[in-house]
Structure 1
């Protein structure tokens, strides 16, 4: 099997140009045109476009990809949308695609480009937040932490900045700043977004976490789920979700808010998964957490997967 895994890519790389040539002669369309016209909108089409571009050996296309890769992390929304125009122009010139003969190609291909480089920009933005350490001397960081408490525990004021009360929302000790080490400010921003935008759902999950036998540490689990979401993002596993989202809602590119919503979905679903697993105690956490992660990865292997953030609380 190992030898086969080594040989197949080599064989495919060798015969691919011949397959492309034959299909081009037979259909009078380039590979990118065949993908854009034939593949289903969303993850299926965008992934195929991305792969076709990455496999291209044409110097102009390789130069284009390098240019866009370098610019994407720092592009604003207007610049990101311009990527589609730039890429369509280069591909049209290389593949001799005439806009008057193929009027739909630019729009379809351009949407794929925007989704691809929006995802790359999102990876950079999330990495910046993850790398930003929580700083107790930073007033903005402190205000966000205190806001998290107020949103989750509005009836119970903090008695002090450093207090055992933080354990009531699932931090490990008296000062939450040490718990953000792994995920930095991304961990706090995710928790805060969940508590602010989906307050009823967040309180619902927090109440479950305090169950006398099925309970878990809310904030620590939340930071672990930030790690899971970030890993999905960095490995590309969650491209399926974001590419389908871009096509379904016609927003064309993913933002940090979309990442926060993915996190909220994972947290709400993990809570359901945890309760249904009926753990003996918190010692079952690793096994259940890994089973949950595998279930989401399996879902993301399906081109049709789109995680819908519909956090409806039916009962507490």
Structure 2
């Protein structure tokens, strides 16, 4: 740890000299070297972000502060990208003395990185707001979401009442599911509902695994644990690998839901393959799963997809 801290301090002081030397020898600034040399996706975008965050140039710091402000104002959305990003890119071109006519591909690449970086920051705020929003039984929209979850997962068994032991069939702890959402708020319910809505057969298949007499688990409670895991992966930046490697999409709540679906499906697969003796092994297997996911996310080239395999156990 001491060696690491010393190296970090040395890097901080040596960084300007290294950048100056590379600029003189390559005739490219650091951002250009990243956008031209690094693999498109997570590797490139993370390095652009790191370069911007470590910059000591006043104008660059002001660009970063301005973009952060648009996130706080909820203005960093696609319809505002041109008015927000055009002047920001122009400032960077001026500060770094980049000729826009000679480096058109740099502008395209750099702009995409900015879109990804600050869309991710916007997503963190959006997810945080959902997590803090508690399930409200007096809110008709919340209630309808919960009822939709039941009808999607168990279409052939109508609920006898809003408060019912039937909820335990899909893995809630008691007669009223609202108490189980306290930790992750509405985010937990939205994740479960997205999985059931967009991957209906897969979610029902996972539910059937949870009802297995030997390897069963509490579907909804495990799903909320997966929400917690996805939330912290997003907050600590680990999920950037997934978000930045999604070629057709910018970081968004929809992409976060898909990340959740991937995690839930893959956890269920690991759980069944582990053949646990009972639910008491949950913490150990869940930690093993989280470590495996973190290891995969540590590879900037990782691309997560749901590879659907329906089996019988």
TM-score by length of 2: 0.97
- 1:171 aligned onto 2:172: yes
- 1:306 aligned onto 2:307: no
Partner of 2:203: 202
Matches within 5 A, 1:83-102: 83-102=84-103
| Structure 1 runs not aligned, ≥5 long | none
Partner of 1:45: 44
Partner of 1:183: 184
* Alignment check: 8 A CA contact 1:83 1:114 kept: no
* Alignment check: 8 A CA contact 1:262 1:309 kept: no
Partner of 2:270: 273
SS for the counterpart of 1:192 is helix
Q: Deviations over 1:238-282 (max 9, x none)?
A: 10111111xx22x3x211111001000100000000001111100
SS for the counterpart of 2:215 is coil
Alpha carbons of structure 1 residues 176 and 267: separation in structure 2 relative to 1, 3 Å: same
- 1:59 aligned onto 2:58: yes
CA distance in structure 1 between the aligned counterparts of 2:182 and 2:69, rounded to whole angstroms: 29
Number of paired residues?
A: 311
SS for the counterpart of 2:85 is helix
Residue 282 of structure 1: which of 263, 279, 290 is its match? 279
Q: How much does 1:311 deviate?
A: 3.3
Partner of 1:142: 143
Q: How much does 1:156 deviate?
A: 0.2
Q: Deviations over 1:18-61 (max 9, x none)?
A: 11101101111111011111111011110110000000011111
Partner of 2:243: 242
Q: How much does 1:312 deviate?
A: 4.2
CA distance in structure 1 between the aligned counterparts of 2:83 and 2:301, rounded to whole angstroms: 28
Partner of 2:31: 32
* Alignment check: 8 A CA contact 1:84 1:109 kept: no
| Structure 2 runs not aligned, ≥5 long | none
The runs of at least 4 consecutive aligned structure 1 residues that moved more than 6 Å come to none
Matches within 5 A, 1:88-127: 88-127=89-128
Q: How much does 1:98 deviate?
A: 1.1
TM-score by length of 1: 0.96
The CA RMSD measured in Å over matched residues stands at: 1.2
Partner of 1:297: 294
SS for the counterpart of 2:14 is helix
Residue 261 of structure 1: which of 258, 264, 279 is its match? 258
